[in-house]
Amino acid sequence: MPAYTKKQKLIDALTQRIQSGTYPPGTKLPSGTELCAEFDVSRQVVRAAIDWLKARGLVDGAPGAGVFVRDPSDR
């Protein structure tokens, strides 16, 4: 499967979980290792997907703490 497709699949899944409330505001996303295992993708694909979500204001990274879902009112 092309890397773009894997990245888009991960982006779509995480976006759906955020928008549906599965991951409510303030929720820490699963670790990169957990996402790699769940979606069978590389760390590079996970990083690219997280960067995409950060660029769209859906999540924020806290160095050393993880990646957290942003409150919609803060976006």
Where exactly are the structural domains of the chain? 3-74
CATH for 3-74 is 1.10.10.10
CA torsion angle for 38, 32, 52, 8 (degrees, to 10)? -20
CA neighbours closer than 13 Å in the CB half-sphere of residue 31 = 5
In sequence order, the 6+-apart residues with CB closer than 8 A to the CB of 36 are 42, 43, 45, 46
Query: Tens of pLDDT along 42-67?
Result: 999 999 999 999 999 999 998 899 99
Which pLDDT value is given to residue 3? 65
Which pLDDT value is given to residue 62? 87
Which pLDDT value is given to residue 74? 77
Query: Tens of pLDDT along 24-40?
Result: 999 999 999 999 999 99
- The pTM of this model reads 0.91
Residue 1 pLDDT greater than 90, yes or no: no
Q: How far apart are CA 55 and CA 70, in angstroms?
A: 12
